[in-house]
Structure 1
Amino acid sequence: MMRELEAQLAGIVGEGGLQQGGGSEYSVDGVVPGLVAFPESAAQVAELVKVANANGLKVVPYGGGTAMGLGMTPERVDLVLSTKRLTDTPHDDRRDMTLSVGAGMTLSALNARLAEDNLWLPLDPPDPERATIGGLVAADQSGPLRHGLGTLRDHVIGMKVISAEGKLVAAGGRVVRNVAGYDMCKLHIGALGTLGLLVEVSLKLAARPQANAIVLAKLSSVADAEPLIAAVLDSSLEPVLLELVSGTACGAATAGLLPDGAVVAAGFAGNGQRVAWQAEAFAALVASQSLQLLASRSGNEAQTAREALAEVHGGDSADVVLVASVLSSQVAELLTRAAALSEPRGVAMGAASHAGKGLARLFLRGEEQALTEVTHAAREVVVERGGSLIVAKAPPKLKPLLNVWGAPAGDLAVLQAVRRTYDPNETLNAYRHATAVRGAA
C-alpha cells in the first residue's frame, strides 16, 4: 500500500521531486518525515495534499526552516511539503507598488530583486537569506521594523492557499484597497498552514527610505529603559524601531556591534533632514536622562546595526525561547523580573524586545528542570500583568511540560471550529498549532 502511495506521489512531482525523509534536514522536533516532496507549482501542491488527505497522511509545510521550533511536537510526520521550488513571480506591478510571489521565495531574494527599482518589503526577521515569504506569513514573523513600518498584516493584500481537500483557494486581491467583508488573509497569518498551505502571496511594497540612522543608548540597568521608552513614545519622534536588548542576547549574536549589558536602540528612516533631526532629538532625550550615548550611526553602518538587532531575535544559541506580549510600559519590569527568576536557578538569560510594542523575547540556557521552573514563573509574571507568553523554541522532551501555547484563549473554541471546517482530518500540520485536537484521525 505504501509503495503504491509513494509511487502516486512521485508521479505528481516527477523525477527528483520526492525523496525518502531520512535524516535531520527536514525533521520537525526530531520527528523524521517518511517522505519529502518538492513541488514546482500550485497544481502539484494541490494534488499532493489531495492524495495525502484521502489516505490519512499528516503533512507538514516547510519553507526555510527558520521557525520550525514553533508549536508542539507532532506525533508523526508522513509527508513534508517543501516550498523551495515555488519561487515564481506571477504578478509584478511595481508601478502600483504590488507584487505576487511564490511562497518559497526568500525575503532576501525578494528585496534584492526589488532594489532595482528602489523598492522593498519592509520586514526584517532574523535570517532573511533562509526565511521564505510563505513561512513568514504562516508563522507571523517580523522584526524590529514592526514598530514603525508594520507587520505582515499590514503588507499582505492577498494570497492563494491549497485547502486540505486539495483545492486552490484565493483570498484578498492584488490591489491595495478596502473592501466589504471579512479579511480571510488575516486568518492564515500565523496559522502555521493549518487552514491551507500557502503557495502564493500578494504584497504591498514600499519605497526605500532616502536615509536611515540608529542611535544607541547604554543603560546602567534594564530599569532605566522605561523612562526613556516612555519619553520617546510621548514625543513627536517617529522611530521605525525602538528596541531594548539586554544580557547575553547582546553578545555573540551581534558580532561585537552591540555591547553586553542593557541597550536601547532607536532607528529612524525617511527624508535625510528629518532623519538627522530625529536622531539628534533622541540623543538629547538620552542626555536629559543622564544615560550614556553609545553611538549614532547612519547609512551603511546603520543598516549593519539594524541587521544585527534583527538577528538577536533569532535566539539560535538558546535552549528555550519565550515570547511575551505585555504593555510597552511593562517590558523593562518584565526583563528585570525574568532575570531575577533565572539567576538563582543557574539559568543564563538574555532578552531582546520590540519595546515600543510590548513584545519581548527571553533567551534561556540551563538545566532542564531550571528551564521549566523559569518558564512557568515567567508566565505567571506575564499573566499577572494581563499579558500572554508562548514558548517559541524548546527541546522536544520539554515541550509537554512547558505548555507551549499558554492558557487557552477565550476564542479557542471558535478557532477550533474554523479549523475543523477547513481541515476536519487535521491533515495539515497536525498537533502543532494551538487549535490542535490530540487524537484527530
Structure 2
Amino acid sequence: MVVTVDGLKPKAVEKPKTAEELAGCLSEASRAGQAVIPIGGGRALGMGDPPARFDLALVTTGLDRIVEVSPEDLTATVQAGVTLEALQAELGKARQFLPLDPFASPGHTIGGLLATAWSGPLRQRYGTPREFLVGLQVALPDGRLARSGGKVVKNVSGYDLNKLHFGALGSLGVITEASFKVFPRPLFEETVEASEPQLTDAWREARRALDLKLPPVALELVREPDRHRLVARFAGSEDGVRRMVRELVWAPVGEADFWQQHSRRRAGRWLRVAVPPEALRDVLQSLPEAASWWAHPGVGVVHWVDFESAQVAAVRAAAEDAGGSAVLLAAPSALKRELGAWGRQPATIDLMRRVKRAFDPAGTLSPGRYLV
C-alpha cells in the first residue's frame, strides 16, 4: 500500500487486524521515538498541516468488523475500519441508518469520519456525528486500549474520550471502535429545488424553507455559474412532507440522484468556513463573484473550492471575527505552510497542549498536523 501525506512517505506501513495488534504497533513505535499517522479510507488525508515527521502509517482498514447491530435498541457498534457504506447496508436491513453523508464519498471509514469530524447536509436535522456517538474504544500511545461511553463507562484520567478524540485528527489516540445511536429510515422523502440569480433572493428563499413548520432535513445552497441553486430534502410522513412541499412551491429536483452526486464533491483546494448561521450570508457576500462554493444555510457552513491563495486571508479573518473558523480541508503543501490549515489559535490552546502532553507525551501521533 502506497501512502503519502503532503508528499511525505512513511518508512513503514502497518495494517493490523485487531485492536490489540494496533495498540501493540502504536506502543512499539512510541517507545522507538517514531512518528505515527493513523490512516483510514484516505478520503481526508489533505486535512491538517504538513506533518513534521512521518515514520509509520498505521492503516485501520483491517479493523473491518461490524461488532453488533441492535435494531431494537437503535444502536450499532463497529470497528474503525468499517466503511460508512458497509454500515449503512447492514443498518438498512432493518430500515435504519446513520444520518451521516460526508463529502468526498464513497470510501470514508467510521474512524476517519470521527477523527476529522466531517459531516454533510444531514447535519441540518441530525447534527454532527458527535451528537449520536455514544461510545469509543481508543488505542493510546502507551499501548492501552481505553473505552468511554457505550456499554463500558470508563474515562481515562478524568477525560471524556468521546469529546476529546472527535475531530482531533488522530493526535491523541487511534480510534479502534465506535458505538452509535442509529435512526429509523423516514417513511417518505421528497427533494425539491429553486434557483435565483441574486444571492439576496436565494437567501430569502432559504430562510422561508427553514422557517417551515416541518423544515427540510437538508438544505443546500449551491453557487453555479449563472445562478444560486437551492435544494431541499424533506423527510417524514407522506402527508407532512407533501404539505411542506406544497407550501414552499419549489420544483421537483432535476436529478434523481442529486444527493449521491452531491456527496462526491471534493477539490484539491478546499476551505470549510463555519460561522454562526446568522453570519453566513455576510460571509457568502464576501466571497469573490466567480467563486465556486456550496453552503448549508441552516448550520452556517460554506465549502469554498478552487480559490486563489491571496483570497483566503480576508475571508478567514471575517469568519474568525464572527466567532467561527476557516479550515483547509485540502490544499497544496506549500499553501498550507503559507496560510496554516487551521487559522487562528483557539482560546483553549493552552488546555489543548496540556491534554496532548497527558495523552501523548512523546509526540508520537500526527506530529505537526493538528493544532497541538
Fold in common (TM above 0.5): yes
1:234 equivalent in alignment to 2:211 = yes
Where in structure 2 are the equivalents of 1:152-167 lying within 5 Å? 152-167=129-144
Of 290, 309, 312, 2:262 maps to: 309
Aligned-residue CA RMSD (Å): 2.0
The one-letter code sitting in structure 1 at the alignment partner of 2:229 is: V
The one-letter code sitting in structure 2 at the alignment partner of 1:264 is: L
Where in structure 2 are the equivalents of 1:322-341 lying within 5 Å? 322-340=271-289
Show structure 1 runs of 4+ deviating over 4 A.
none
Are the equivalent residues in 2 in contact too, given 1:158–1:203 (CA < 8 A)? yes
Where in structure 2 are the equivalents of 1:139-178 lying within 5 Å? 139-174=116-151
The one-letter code sitting in structure 2 at the alignment partner of 1:322 is: L
Of 236, 240, 245, 1:279 maps to: 245
Of 36, 42, 59, 1:65 maps to: 42
Are the equivalent residues in 1 in contact too, given 2:231–2:253 (CA < 8 A)? no
Q: Deviations over 1:125-148 (max 9, x none)?
A: 124431000000000011000001
- Tell me the secondary structure at the aligned position of residue 326 of structure 2: strand
- Tell me the secondary structure at the aligned position of residue 33 of structure 1: coil
1:392 equivalent in alignment to 2:343 = no
C-alpha distance in 2 between matches for 1:219 and 1:268? 20
Are the equivalent residues in 2 in contact too, given 1:279–1:296 (CA < 8 A)? no
Of 359, 366, 371, 2:301 maps to: 359
Q: Deviations over 1:238-257 (max 9, x none)?
A: 21011111036xxxxxxxxx
Q: Deviations over 1:396-421 (max 9, x none)?
A: 01111112211111011101111110
Deviates more, 1:120-129 or 1:54-63: 120-129
- Residue 84 of structure 1 corresponds to which residue in structure 2? 61
TM-score, length basis structure 2: 0.93
The one-letter code sitting in structure 2 at the alignment partner of 1:306 is: W
Query: How far did residue 297 of structure 1 move?
Result: 4.4
Where in structure 2 are the equivalents of 1:26-45 lying within 5 Å? 26-45=3-22
Q: Deviations over 1:294-332 (max 9, x none)?
A: x3249xx65x222223333xx23xx42111112323323
Are the equivalent residues in 2 in contact too, given 1:372–1:401 (CA < 8 A)? no
- Tell me the secondary structure at the aligned position of residue 339 of structure 1: coil
Are the equivalent residues in 2 in contact too, given 1:214–1:306 (CA < 8 A)? no
- Tell me the secondary structure at the aligned position of residue 357 of structure 1: coil
Are the equivalent residues in 1 in contact too, given 2:274–2:302 (CA < 8 A)? yes
Q: Deviations over 1:371-400 (max 9, x none)?
A: 221011211232343332122211001111
C-alpha distance in 2 between matches for 1:279 and 1:308? 22
- Residue 265 of structure 1 corresponds to which residue in structure 2? 231
The one-letter code sitting in structure 2 at the alignment partner of 1:198 is: I
- Tell me the secondary structure at the aligned position of residue 360 of structure 1: strand
C-alpha distance in 1 between matches for 2:201 and 2:253? 22
Paired residues in the alignment total 368
Query: How far did residue 262 of structure 1 move?
Result: 1.1
Are the equivalent residues in 2 in contact too, given 1:107–1:128 (CA < 8 A)? no
Query: How far did residue 96 of structure 1 move?
Result: 0.9
Query: How far did residue 182 of structure 1 move?
Result: 6.5
C-alpha distance in 1 between matches for 2:73 and 2:344? 43
TM-score, length basis structure 1: 0.79
Unaligned ranges ≥5, structure 2:
none
C-alpha distance in 2 between matches for 1:28 and 1:335? 31
C-alpha distance in 1 between matches for 2:72 and 2:117? 27
- Tell me the secondary structure at the aligned position of residue 164 of structure 1: coil
The one-letter code sitting in structure 2 at the alignment partner of 1:52 is: A
Unaligned ranges ≥5, structure 1:
1-18, 20-24, 249-259, 284-292, 344-348, 366-370, 436-441
- Residue 168 of structure 2 corresponds to which residue in structure 1? 191
- Tell me the secondary structure at the aligned position of residue 273 of structure 2: strand
Larger RCO, structures 1/2 (Cα 8 Å, 6+ apart): 2
Which structure has the bigger radius of gyration?
A: 1
Pick closer, same or farther for the CA change 1:393–1:173 going to 2, 3 Å: same
Are the equivalent residues in 1 in contact too, given 2:41–2:112 (CA < 8 A)? yes
The one-letter code sitting in structure 1 at the alignment partner of 2:360 is: D
